[in-house]
């Protein structure tokens, strides 16, 4: 007879509607740019979110020290440093290391992409000087501030945190 006991499940699963009906779930990141948190992993230092953009032009110059995976749900976007365009239905793998410049073109009314980001995004100015960063902890802070401001409460984000 086995001496092993059944191990109690310690980590809760997470099943939710990705594009919410409640607009308040979208957290403002910049002018006409929002993210919708799906999974905020404070143990491994990674997050999964939807990025929604309703303006054109340069969104950010950044580098990631770890891989990024993207799935484009609506609209399109590209990096100035590459000749491909990520369009609705496409999957994108971004290897770590390079500084690249995210742009949405004029003919796109709205872009929504699911991103799985490990580690961090480090932002750079036009002269390649670092000027800020995001990681799972800054994302949680943005969520807490926003969800407090819209009446959902700072604890609302806890459901996405593991
Ligand atoms: Fe990137």
The tens digit of pLDDT for each residue in 13-72 reads 999 999 999 999 999 999 999 999 999 999 999 999 999 999 999 999 999 999 999 999
Å from CA of 98 to ligand 1 middle: 9
Å from CA of 100 to ligand 1 middle: 6
Q: Is pLDDT at 6 greater than 60 in this prediction? A: yes
Residue 1 is predicted with a pLDDT of: 57
Q: Is pLDDT at 2 greater than 90 in this prediction? A: no
The DSSP secondary structure of 82-146, one letter per residue, reads: SS--EETT-EEEE-SS-EEEEEE-TT-S-EEEEEEEESEEEEE-TTS-EEEEEEHHHHHHHHHHH
Q: What are the pLDDT digits (tens) for 106-145?
A: 999 999 999 999 999 999 999 999 999 999 999 999 999 9
Tokens of residue 158, six digits: 């806890």
Domains in the chain, please, with CATH? 31-160 (2.60.120.10)
Å from CA of 81 to ligand 1 middle: 11
Residues 6 or more apart whose CB falls under 8 angstroms from that of 146 comprise 27, 28
Å from CA of 31 to ligand 1 middle: 19
Residue 10 is predicted with a pLDDT of: 81
Q: Is pLDDT at 78 greater than 90 in this prediction? A: yes
Residue list, CB under 5 A from ion ligand 1: 94
Q: Is pLDDT at 159 greater than 90 in this prediction? A: yes
Residue 5 is predicted with a pLDDT of: 76
| Averaged pLDDT for residues 2-6 | 71
Å from CA of 133 to ligand 1 middle: 12
| Ramachandran region, residue 44 (left: φ > 0; alpha: ψ -120 to 50; beta: rest) | alpha
Is the model more confident about 161 or about 7? 161
- Asked whether 56 and 106 are in contact (CB, 8 A), the reply is yes
């Amino acid at each position: 007879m086995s001496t092993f006991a059944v191990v109690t499940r310690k980590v809760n699963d997470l099943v939710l509607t990705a594009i919410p009906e409640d607009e308040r779930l979208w957290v403002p990141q910049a002018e006409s740019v929002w993210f919708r948190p799906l999974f905020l992993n404070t143990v491994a230092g990674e997050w999964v979110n939807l990025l929604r953009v309703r303006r054109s032009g340069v969104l950010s110059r950044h580098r990631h020290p770890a891989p990024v995976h993207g799935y484009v749900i609506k609209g399109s976007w590209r990096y100035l440093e590459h000749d491909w365009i990520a369009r609705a239905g496409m999957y994108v793998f971004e290897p770590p290391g390079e500084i690249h410049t995210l742009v949405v073109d004029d003919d796109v009314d709205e872009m929504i992409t699911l991103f799985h980001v490990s580690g961090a995004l480090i932002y750079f100015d036009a002269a390649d000087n670092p000027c800020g960063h995001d990681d799972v902890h800054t994302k949680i802070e943005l969520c807490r501030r926003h969800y407090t401001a819209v009446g959902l409460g700072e604890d609302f984000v806890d459901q996405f945190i593991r």
